[in-house]
Amino acid sequence: MKGLPAGRQGFSALARRKGFTLVETIIVAAVFLIVGTLLASILVNNTGLSNSQSSLVTSGLNINDAVSTIENNIRQASSVAIGYPEVTPTYTTSSNTLVLKIPSYNASGVISDTYDYVVVTKDLTKTYLLKQYIFPNALSIRQSQNKILTNILQSIEFSYLDKNDNVVSSNTAEKVKVIINVLPGNGVADKTRSATIVVSLRNL
């Protein structure tokens, strides 16, 4: 090689460097493809799982809070009211609206024969909102309220029962059964979460 002119030596060096064979290139590409696909698949699956789990967690938290709030109000109720106001009501007790009559109280305790009204109802326009309103009597120190119990409501159903769990008209109910369904946070309708409670009115 010594005898070769400088230009020829450069060409020869280049020629001597080993490139990738076609087979090697294909194998590497294939490995990249397989590994990439596997990783992408893992990532996609994991992200999906993460989304669905976090939405389940969200719906679970929502349903826990909503059920707890509704249960406490039913426990304290004297009766299920026909509606609120009782004359020409804006909210009427039905299978998806609950109007509770709860004894009013002030600093010295419960005020006899005086009531605040708690309304639990699906929002008329945004039907995924479950709302709770509190309308206190003028003598009561209970705070008025307009609160969203959950923003992922699918459905809510109230049933009115007597002591023996027979279905009765709402104004004679001694117990209220509540079935609440909420959507997962990502809005996938076929994965709803449901809770059912039956609560006795303690102040009846």
Partner 1 sequence: MKKESGQVLVLAMIVVGLVLLNSLAIIGGANIYSQSTNYSVQSTQSLNLAEAGVEKALASLNLGGLYSGDSEIKLDEGSISINVTSPNQSSKVIEATGYYPSKANPKSQKTIKVTASKGVGYAFNYGVQIGEGGFEMENNSGINGSLYSNGNIEMENNTFITGDVYVAGGTTPTADQQSSCTSPSCSDYIFGKNVAGNNILDVAQSFKPGINGNINKISIKLKKVGSPSDITVRLLADSNGKPDKSNVLTTGTLTANLVTSQFEWIDVTFSSSVNLVNDTTYWIMLDTSSNSSNYWIWSADSLQGYIRGAGMWSSNWSDRNPTWTSMLYDLDFKTYMGGVITHIKGAPGVTIGGSAHANTLQDLAISGSAYYQTKSNITAANYYPNSPDPQPANLPVSEGNISEWKQRAQDAGVYTGDISTCRATLGPGKYIGNVAFTNGCTITIIDPVWITGFLDLNNNVLVKLDSSYGTASGVMVIDGKITMANNVNVRGSGTSGSYLMVLTTYDSRSNGQVALSVNNSTNQGILYAGTGIANISNVSRLTELTAWKVELENGVIINYDSGLASPFFTSGPSGSYSIVKGTYQIK
Tell me whether residue 56 or residue 129 sits nearer to partner 1 (CB atom).
56
56-85: which residues touch partner 1 (CB under 8 A)? 56-57, 60-61, 64-65, 67-68, 71-72, 75-76, 78
Whole-angstrom Cα distance, residue 118 to residue 121?
10
Task: Pick the closest to residue 12 from 4, 21, 24 (CA basis).
Answer: 4
**Nearer of residues 71 and 192 to partner 1, judged by Cβ:** 71
33: contact with partner 1 by CB under 8 A:
no
Which of residues 10, 36, 85, 187 is near partner 1 by CB under 8 A? 36
Q: Where are the alpha helices (DSSP H) in the chain?
A: 6-16, 22-76
Other Cβ atoms within 10 Å of 121 Cβ, number = 21
Binding mask 146-185 for partner 1 (x = CB under 8 A): ----------------xxx-x-x-----------------
Window contacting partner 1 (CB under 8 A); options: 2-10, 32-40, 122-130, 147-155: 32-40
- One-letter identity of residue 193: R
Cβ neighbors of 173 (< 8 A, separation 6 or more) are 79, 80, 160, 161, 162, 201
Nearer residue to partner 1 within complex by CB, 12 or 171: 171
**Rounded distance, CA 177 to CA 156, Å?**
11
**Residue with token string 């426990």:** 75
Which residue ranges make up the site for partner 1 (CB under 8 A)? 31-32, 35-36, 39-40, 42-43, 46-47, 49-50, 53-54, 56-57, 60-61, 64-65, 67-68, 71-72, 75-76, 78, 103, 105, 109-114, 162-164, 166, 168, 202-204
